[in-house]
Structure 1
């Protein structure tokens, strides 16, 4: 099916870049419902074209039906800017404007851009709610709401802010929710804000894109850095995105790789917005070969033809694994997801298997034999002598600590 068959105006179809030759499954399912003003709950794999699915629907409604203003809420600044980058050229071709409202930027400049009455606002919850409370934005103009990566908006602690924002949208007529993963327990929480929604499922929920090859290696915890260095050095991948859990660990690992002669950068929440944008842009342009990132990058960030994603550490939340590996094999391309797993992460691996319904077999590397032993769950420290502790605490003079003769 072509875009011209999705109830889109000829002007909008002509404005779609040639790089989007035909619509994806999620676009063909969601767009007709959006342009007919249905509420939609859409679930689809990462890299399946969700941004364009709701984006084209919004632009069509703005252009053809006189929609005043649409608000797109996303969990991170990086995703907000990516949404704007994807939709701005198409909207501008039809004479419509988009602006971004997020932390890390000058508020006065954002207020000034809002004064130009952009038809589409892409925002992160914290900054937007702050502007609402300071009456710096007219929420009465907003009649359409999109929650992108809705499960992340829930589990990152944004949900109270999101609820406050929704309650302020007194003229809201249509609500769209998009995500790659959404447990049933969370669906019940979000659907109360939808009016007779059409539920669209383009792929198996919580599934991994079929073009992704998944390899998992069981390694010693202390061997992970050497394994990573050897894999990157020998495989000679043009680009690699490495996911790690903690910000400090990202910087430490980056230093070790640089010392080994592998040029890399780290990206995490401790860097200011300008630094994050600079590093991410350099990676997207291919100027940075290896990027070590915390999960600030796991959601919604698109890098053209990224061949490899490596999980240096498995995430404790299995849905994060789906989003991490979804940074590769986007738009129908092939990709590799490599995970380095130690015995202490087997519970995380089992949770990922349960969520994705995939075997995810663990292999071993001959040059890195596993000598660590699986945890038995028993406390290795000897039991404390509580009475001895009490006796020690009662001693007040140095002479009392001398042993008996």
Structure 2
């Protein structure tokens, strides 16, 4: 399937081709035909799969085709609501790129900055408005924005909207929209709260789901380092100084944790910047631009602030803290390996994070390869690794038992004992040999995991 087969109009197709795109991603291929028919849509796909183009292209096409001479300033016809400033800016840029030959005007509004430039753009008139909830409601209250002419409404990253406590704001916004409109919900995950909200607002939408593990686990080389919480800073410095990477995105669970990691890296002589909700918009944008242009090699981010970070050819993602929501892990490592690229992801795991790891591996349906030789190995790691390998050995023995020929009970029992003894012996030899050869362990982590059926 190519874009020219999706009945996209010439001005937009020209812009798509100018970007070098020829084949739509799965979410685009499935969503664009539905949206061109002006159906409501509930879409689920992780970031990096092309969701923005999936809804931007049809909206631009509808506005272009429906254009009639307007008296006075342009009226807002499409509204995209998204949780973070960075993501709002990214969506605005995408609308500008895909619509550059259409004459359609868009603008973006968000909090954390003075409103002057934003209200001036609104006063000049726009067709498409991209907004964060707080600033949108603020400017509606001041009389700068009217939603009565909205024909197309998009709620992007709906799961993060709810996680960030925007549910009441979203309901207020939806109550102001015309009843007759096309509505689109896009989310990286689809918890029951999103399904419930969508059911109340969308009515009977078409649904498109692109499973996240299908687009991440196969392309991203994943490795796991067991390390104590206290030793995490040292291991991070060690890896950043020994790994050959052009750009590294490090994820922490908290804002304070992100700042602490940056201070530690800078103390070790590694240039790094943090991006999170406590930073001003200017500081966040500067840090992101520095990371994109390569002047900063390491960016430390929280999950919410990272929504909207779109860096091509990102070398490495480091899960400094494992997320307590398994879908978030898939979303994080999807920052590398975007589109058709490959990438690498490293995760740190201390004893307290073991339950998170278990949930993650259950979701992605694969065991993350453990790097057993590194200078900051967690005490008692052998028991943790053995616990990880036990289910795998049981599965292997189960498959072996099914494929073997029938034998008497005595022979089967002896075979089982021999297999267990052999595995234990091999594991013991492995833990003794090469205990200081961290490079061999690190090289092992570079191997991509074998593809598994999803």
Which TM-score band (shorter chain)? 0.7 to 0.9
| 1:301-339 deviation digits (Å, cap 9, x = unpaired) | 210110110010112222222221111111110011110
- Residue 32 (structure 2) pairs with residue 31 (structure 1): yes
The answer (yes or no) to whether the contact 2:156–2:187 under 8 Å persists in 1 is yes
User: How far apart, in 1, do the equivalents of 2:145 and 2:300 lie?
Assistant: 37
1:230-245 maps to which residues of 2 (within 5 A)? 230-245=238-253
User: How far apart, in 1, do the equivalents of 2:225 and 2:379 lie?
Assistant: 14
Structure 2 partner of 1:58: 59
| 1:124-183 deviation digits (Å, cap 9, x = unpaired) | 111111222333211102121001111111111111100110010025410011122112
TM-score, L = length of structure 1: 0.87
Q: Which residue among 272, 275, 290 is the counterpart of 2:298? A: 290
- Residue 205 (structure 2) pairs with residue 197 (structure 1): yes
User: How far apart, in 2, do the equivalents of 1:205 and 1:72 lie?
Assistant: 27
Structure 1 partner of 2:48: 47
- Residue 347 (structure 2) pairs with residue 339 (structure 1): yes
Shift of 1:207: 6.8
Shift of 1:105: 2.4
Shift of 1:209: 4.7
Structure 2 partner of 1:97: 105
Against the structure 1 CA distance between its residues 152 and 174, is the aligned structure 2 distance closer, same or farther, given a 3 Å change threshold?
Answer: same
User: How far apart, in 2, do the equivalents of 1:153 and 1:258 lie?
Assistant: 33
Shift of 1:293: 1.2
User: How far apart, in 2, do the equivalents of 1:89 and 1:46 lie?
Assistant: 19
Greater mean deviation of Cα atoms: 116-125 or 206-215:
206-215
TM-score, L = length of structure 2: 0.78
Shift of 1:256: 1.4
Structure 1 partner of 2:452: none
Shift of 1:237: 0.7
| 1:381-402 deviation digits (Å, cap 9, x = unpaired) | xxxxxxxxxxxxxxxxxxxxxx
The answer (yes or no) to whether the contact 1:239–1:290 under 8 Å persists in 2 is yes
Structure 1 partner of 2:307: 299
Report SS of the residue matched to 1:330. Answer: coil
Against the structure 1 CA distance between its residues 73 and 264, is the aligned structure 2 distance closer, same or farther, given a 3 Å change threshold?
Answer: same
Greater mean deviation of Cα atoms: 13-22 or 304-313:
13-22
Structure 1 partner of 2:330: 322
Report SS of the residue matched to 1:126. Answer: helix
Unaligned runs of 5+ in 1: 376-405
User: How far apart, in 2, do the equivalents of 1:166 and 1:371 lie?
Assistant: 53
User: How far apart, in 2, do the equivalents of 1:31 and 1:139 lie?
Assistant: 24
User: How far apart, in 2, do the equivalents of 1:341 and 1:172 lie?
Assistant: 50
Unaligned runs of 5+ in 2: 69-75, 385-454
User: How far apart, in 2, do the equivalents of 1:84 and 1:171 lie?
Assistant: 25
Report SS of the residue matched to 2:339. Answer: helix
Structure 2 partner of 1:69: 77
Report SS of the residue matched to 2:216. Answer: coil
Structure 2 partner of 1:272: 280
Against the structure 1 CA distance between its residues 203 and 370, is the aligned structure 2 distance closer, same or farther, given a 3 Å change threshold?
Answer: closer
Report SS of the residue matched to 1:113. Answer: helix
Shift of 1:274: 0.5
Greater mean deviation of Cα atoms: 50-59 or 245-254:
245-254
Structure 2 partner of 1:253: 261
The answer (yes or no) to whether the contact 1:245–1:295 under 8 Å persists in 2 is yes
Greater mean deviation of Cα atoms: 318-327 or 294-303:
294-303
The answer (yes or no) to whether the contact 1:27–1:52 under 8 Å persists in 2 is yes
Structure 2 partner of 1:4: 4
1:134-145 maps to which residues of 2 (within 5 A)? 134-145=142-153
The answer (yes or no) to whether the contact 1:247–1:269 under 8 Å persists in 2 is yes
Structure 2 partner of 1:391: none
Structure 2 partner of 1:15: 15
Shift of 1:107: 2.0
